[in-house]
């Protein structure tokens, strides 16, 4: 049996007289067999997409074979809170046009989605449509990618090795707090069904978590604004029926273009002996600030370190456009820590510790 053997992009391809073709560790059966004439192996066109990763279109009228590149996948990489990269992996280089809008980037690529890949399943593409080749008219795949308000700078480049188109979203941040947008979220304080008011946890003496964390957030707000930062408060008063619920707070944050989100809470336990500081985050981009603010709070209040914890609380999980943390500096259910947080001087010290963490974070 005669075998045509060669390497394509590091993978060994074997084509014999049967209808089975081997490429690397993959094998594929086709409907037609190769034809051998005068010791020349002629292979069916249906082999081409599998062997060299491109679409085949045969123009019978003009006896022309057109080969078009494939788009294999859209890869997403969030390098940091200031940089996101979308990479379109192609089988060969392809021409494309681009259009940059305020909320998206549109690429019109002379290539076709690979038949074994459903690009629409990829979260990176908010809209993908394809116009197939028609004779000499090139195919066009239109890919529309989301553009984050937090990352206003866009760069689009292409590469030969490997064949790809890269879209990079970045934000050039100047150091310091001036013009940074910080969202402060005093926990609880909203009505359920317009009837039940959420005060959060209640301390042994009757202190409401919602009232105390609002006071702390306002103190942080004053410090930030004095330093030139812009502050968005998810609520500014107690017992207000217009206070947004958790879903609305997430929407406010993700659509704000802000640089940092902090949710203020006080912890509680069924045991009044439990005490200490906990800080919560979910996305990796939030860990750096979580570590910084956690350390500042413990040093300021001299509390027990109960750890930085990865948990899927809504305001840290669903807010994904900036670093977001949830603070639990003290246990309001602990009589001693309730007494501490009811002290105005302690609340000011806590606010200053949180402010110091924010300031240090944006000056690194």
What is the model's pTM? 0.62
What six digits make up the tokens of 41? 């192996």
Among residues 114, 146, 170, which one ends one of the domains?
A: 170
Is 59 inside a domain boundary? no
Domain count of the fold of the chain: 3
Return per-residue pLDDT of the chain as tens, 364 residues: 677 888 888 899 998 888 899 999 999 999 999 887 887 878 898 999 999 899 999 888 888 999 999 999 888 887 776 788 889 999 999 999 999 988 889 999 999 998 887 776 555 557 888 999 988 899 999 999 888 777 888 999 999 888 999 999 887 767 899 989 999 999 999 998 878 899 999 999 999 999 999 999 999 999 999 999 999 999 999 999 999 999 999 999 988 889 999 999 999 999 999 999 999 999 988 999 999 999 999 999 999 999 999 999 999 999 988 999 999 999 999 999 999 999 999 999 999 999 999 999 999 8
| Closest by Cα among 18, 110, 2 to 57 | 110
User: Checking DSSP bridges between strand 277-281 and strand 305-310, what pairing results, if any?
Assistant: parallel
Residues 185 and 102 in one domain: no
Residues 223 and 323 in one domain: yes
Residue 27's domain spans which residues? 4-52
Residues 159 and 231 in one domain: no
Query: How far apart, in whole angstroms, are the C-alpha atoms of residue 197 and residue 255?
Result: 26
Q: What is the CATH number of the domain that holds 355?
A: 3.40.630.40
Among residues 29, 52, 75, which one ends one of the domains?
A: 52
CB 170 within 8 A of CB 83: yes
| Closest by Cα among 36, 57, 35 to 46 | 57
Query: What torsion do the CA atoms of 55, 58, 62, 66 make, to the nearest 10 degrees?
Result: 10
Give strand pairing partners of 342. Answer: none
Is 57 inside a domain boundary? no
Is 104 inside a domain boundary? yes
CA 116 to chain centre: 25
Residues 40 and 75 in one domain: no
Residue 59: its pLDDT value, please?
Answer: 87
Among residues 123, 144, 170, which one ends one of the domains?
A: 170
SS3 content of the chain, % helix, strand, coil (to 5): 25, 40, 40
Is 58 inside a domain boundary? no
């Amino acid at each position: 049996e005669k075998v045509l053997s060669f390497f394509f992009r590091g993978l060994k391809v074997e084509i014999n007289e049967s209808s089975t073709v081997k490429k690397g560790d993959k094998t594929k059966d086709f409907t037609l067999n190769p034809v051998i004439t005068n010791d020349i192996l002629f292979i069916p066109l249906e082999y081409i997409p599998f062997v060299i990763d491109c679409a085949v279109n045969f123009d019978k009228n003009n006896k022309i074979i057109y080969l078009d590149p494939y788009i294999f996948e859209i890869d997403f990489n969030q390098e940091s809170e200031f940089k996101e990269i979308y990479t379109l992996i192609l089988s060969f280089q392809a021409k494309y046009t681009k259009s940059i809008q305020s909320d998206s980037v549109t690429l019109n690529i002379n290539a076709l989605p690979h038949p074994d890949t459903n690009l629409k399943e990829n979260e990176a593409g908010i809209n993908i449509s394809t116009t197939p080749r028609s004779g000499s008219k090139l195919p066009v795949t239109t890919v529309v990618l989301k553009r984050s308000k937090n990352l206003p700078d866009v760069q689009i480049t292409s590469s030969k090795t490997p064949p790809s188109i890269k879209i990079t979203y970045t934000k050039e941040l100047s150091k310091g707090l001036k013009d940074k947008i910080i969202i402060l979220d005093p926990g609880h304080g909203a009505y359920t069904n317009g009837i039940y008011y959420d005060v959060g946890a209640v301390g042994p003496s009757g202190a409401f978590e919602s009232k105390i964390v609002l006071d702390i957030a306002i103190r942080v707000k004053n410090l930030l604004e004095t330093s030139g930062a812009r502050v968005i408060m998810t609520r500014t008063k107690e017992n207000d029926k217009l206070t947004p619920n958790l879903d609305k707070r997430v929407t406010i944050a993700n659509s704000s273009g802000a640089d940092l989100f902090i949710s203020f809470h006080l912890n509680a336990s069924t045991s009044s002996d439990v005490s200490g500081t906990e800080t919560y985050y979910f996305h990796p981009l939030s860990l750096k600030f979580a570590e910084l603010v956690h350390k500042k709070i413990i040093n300021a209040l001299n509390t027990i370190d109960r750890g930085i914890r990865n948990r899927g609380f809504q305001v840290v999980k669903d807010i994904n456009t900036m670093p977001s943390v949830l603070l639990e500096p003290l246990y309001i259910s602990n009589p001693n820590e309730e007494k501490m947080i009811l002290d105005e001087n302690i609340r000011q010290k806590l606010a200053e510790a949180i402010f110091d963490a924010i300031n240090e974070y944006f000056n690194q």
